[in-house]
Structure 1
Amino acid sequence: MTARRKATGIALAGLAPLALTLLTASPAVAHGSMSDPVSRVLACYAEGPESPKSAACKAAVQAGGTQAFYDWNGVRDGNAGGKSKEKIPDGKLCSAGDAAFKGLDLPRADWPATKMQAGNHTFRYRATAPHRGSFELYLTKAGYDPAKPLKWSDLESKPFAKVTDPKLVNGSYVFDGKVPARSGRHLIYSIWQRSDSPEAFYTCSDVVFGKDSGKAGGTSTAPAASAPTEGQIAAGADKSSMDMSAHGHQGGTAAGHGVALRSAEAGKPAPAGGGTAAHPDGNAAHADGATKPLAGGAAPAGGQRLAETGGDGSTAPLAIGGAAVLALGAGVLFTTTRRRAARLRG
């Protein structure tokens, strides 16, 4: 075997573990959930996944465990591609068809709910990672029965509110919509479809117009839903399976994204749901890493829109950086081995 071939073999053998680490260390990402009106997953997280107070949240934890609520910002489909109604089956809208969140699909009339009235309303979506895209909000039809599994046909065929690239205000997307008239208990379903990726996020928010017909334990009115405080969000970050590491939003471009690799994730198999070890969300173009909640709800410098910091441009720098490391290592090993062979021949 020539010195050159030997050097190449050594380089490849030595760099394979490094390449595997780079490919498997990229964590799952977290993005957000509706906070006004409060989504089911966020309301139950606010109650405390280990000891929820409401009967509905207790049942949800019993059905699917506590982890889903620490992962409150990850109800998603990485390959939705604008086809949510085709991909998510009836009865599984609130979980987006993800078994990890199956507790959210429980048909009950006593989920914690937000008081709602017809007319103009300002909606807030607590964001932990920004992306270009649009929000669509659907309201259940008159006659909706919350004690039955939620179906697409229970929702109005067209969204009552739709907005593209809303602004960031105190750590949340904020946008207005005109809510149709209803009475009693209903549900607002949101779809956040990214425009820089097939990925989409979903929420179910239970709302009450006028008198609440939902009962807790058959005797008392179901509790009001509350969003978690910034302190609660920060306290539960370490228990989330989503990476909540720092995420830059400088200058409103993809270049502002900070990519965080969690070494403890290295060597883990690819998760279910169409993802890969490098990109667990099922989207190869999505390498922005996840984010910690913005401390204190602070807006990024300059107040730029979240949507202006899409993650579509971050994969290339990561790939180039990884390639550079591999090339440098290979070059050093090749040069060292070649010089050693030359000395032996001399």
Structure 2
Amino acid sequence: MIRHRTSAAAAFAGAVTFLLAGSTLLAAAPAYAHGAPTDPVSRVAACGLASEGLAGTPACRAAVAANGGQPLGSWDNLRVAGVNGRDRQVIPDGKLCSGGIAAYAGLDLSRSDWPATKLAPGAPFTLTYRSSIPHEGTFSLYLTRQGYSPDAPLTWDDLAPEPFLTVKDPALRNGAYRIPARLPEGRTGRHVLYTVWRNTSTPDTYYSCSDVVLPGGSTDRAEAATTPPARAAVPPPPKAPTKAPERAPKPAAASPSASPSAAPSSPSPAPASAAAESANTAPVADTGSPLTPTTAALAGAAALAVAALGTVLLRRRRTATAGRPHRRHRR
């Protein structure tokens, strides 16, 4: 019994010692920050972050195929330790988007159909860099030179020697760094916004490629110059001119049925309807005249009635007179 208690006490003391040692190791280990740009969307976020809904695009599928069919590394973990500002020496040309990490090699594919964000050259925008743990560090933003071709591997020479914006220790709010910036002028077409985040509280440097489209290139100007004249030269729809001639012959076809007196008096293109209107309104216009055809007809009918009555009375008088005895006239 005593032996069992001694063994149990020893085991408990060992467990406590292990936990204390483990907590000391965890406290000493650095908390690594993770993240990537989501606006303008980076290639790693587009292909690895489900909320972006871009993993099924042809470019992202090709990136997975380039990885031997294996999924890309975690969208927020594209980082290289121990660079110490020697980016151009550590990250080789053609592997800027992957940071030279094999798990992200598909992001270096030379394609012109990567998911892209449309921006305006020389205009302000906000870089949204999603992250989970706040850390100190410096963000440096680069933009490819004019003449960059997405069909060729991205090299350091495609970028300007110096970043167009550098921001130190921005605040992490609502799970993202939001960095106001303004794009350089003199860029048109498809470009790559290259973001380098050099941590100072960790030994890591994060790299990301965000594809952007800047309108106003030579192709856009050519389309703007040729499209308006082409649209102006298009003739009007054929229906408009064909309907007008169809309406014009209708009055001419209906004019023979109208009376000669009604046609010149009415300005309407339909003489038959004008004549009917004239016939309907004529009695109203002649009501005040004592010599209207209606009055003359009534007067003639009355005269005939009076004459007929006189004839009847005359006949009755003659009949009555013929029935009486003839009286001789006394002298």
Contact 2:49 2:75 in 1 (8 A): no
Give the Cα separation in 1 of the matches to 2:176 and 2:95: 26
Aligned equivalent of 1:265: none
Q: From 205, 208, 224, give the equivalent of 1:203.
A: 208
| CA distance in 2: counterparts of 1:45 and 1:54, whole angstroms | 12
1:187 to 2:192 alignment: yes
How many angstroms apart in 1 are the aligned matches of 2:182 and 2:53?
A: 36
Alpha-carbon contact 1:113-1:207 (below 8 Å) kept: yes
- Please give the per-residue CA displacement for 1:295-324, whole angstroms capped at 9, x wherever unaligned: xxxxxxxxxxxxxxxxxxxxxxxxxxxxxx
- Under a length normalisation based on structure 2, what TM-score does the superposition of the two structures give? 0.54
Structure 2 gaps of 5+ residues are 1-9, 219-331
Q: Which residue of 2 is the match for residue 170 of structure 1?
A: 174
Please give the secondary structure, in 1, of the residue aligned with 2:160: coil
Q: Does 1:81 align with 2:122?
A: no
Q: Structure 2 matches for 1:254-269, cutoff 5 A?
A: none
Aligned-pair identity (%): 47
2:45–2:52: 8 Å Cα contact kept in structure 1?
no
Give the aligned partner of residue 281 of structure 2.
Answer: none
Report the secondary structure of 1:68's partner residue.
coil
Kindly tell me: are residues 192 and 80 of structure 1, through their superposed partners in 2, closer, same or farther at Cα, counting changes over 3 Å? same
- Which residue, 92, 97, 108 being the options, matches 2:95? 92
Matched letter for residue 184 of structure 1 = G
**How many angstroms apart in 2 are the aligned matches of 1:61 and 1:118?**
32
8 Å CA contact 1:134, 1:164 repeated in 2: yes
Letter in 1 for 2:65: Q
| TM-fit CA distance, 1:18 | 7.5
The separation in 2 between residues aligned to 1:53 and 1:211, in whole angstroms, is 29
For 2:66 and 2:30, the matched residues in 1 are separated by: 26
User: Of 84, 104, 126, which residue of structure 2 is paired with 1:122?
Assistant: 126
Counterpart residue number, 2:42: 39
Greater Rg, structure 1 or structure 2?
2
Runs of 4+ in 1 over 3 A off after TM superposition: 14-24, 26-30, 46-52
For residues 176 and 159 of structure 1, the distance between their equivalents in structure 2, rounded to whole angstroms, comes to: 14
Do the aligned residues in 2 keep the contact of 1:140 with 1:187 (CA within 8 Å)? yes
3-state SS in 1 of match to 2:133? coil
Counterpart CA distance in 2 for 1:211 and 1:43 is 25
Matches within 5 A, 1:213-228: none
Q: Which has the higher helix share?
A: 2
Q: After superposition, what is the alpha-carbon deviation per residue over 1:243-294, rounded to whole angstroms, capped at 9, x for unaligned?
A: xxxxxxxxxxxxxxxxxxxxxxxxxxxxxxxxxxxxxxxxxxxxxxxxxxxx
Cα distance in 1 for partners of 2:66, 2:53 equals 13
CA contact (8 A) 1:49 1:66 kept: no
Supply the distance in 2 between the matched residues of 1:49 and 1:60 (Cα, whole angstroms): 16
Q: Which amino acid aligns with 1:145?
A: S
Determine helix, strand or coil for the equivalent of 2:72: helix
Q: Which runs of 5+ in 1 are unaligned?
A: 1-9, 214-346
Name which structure has the greater RCO, CA cutoff 8 Å, separation 6+: 1
Q: What pairs with 1:38-57 in structure 2 (closer than 5 Å)?
A: 38-46=41-49, 52-57=55-60
CA RMSD after TM alignment: 3.5
Q: Is the 8 A contact 1:167 1:175 kept in 2?
A: no
Distance (Å, rounded) in 2 between the aligned partners of 1:150 and 1:118:
20
Deviations 1:57-100 (A, max 9, x none): 0000111245425x100011111111111110111111111111
TM-score normalised per structure 1: 0.52
Q: Give the total of aligned pairs.
A: 205
Q: Distance in 2 between matches of 1:18 and 1:89?
A: 43
1:135 equivalent in structure 2: 139
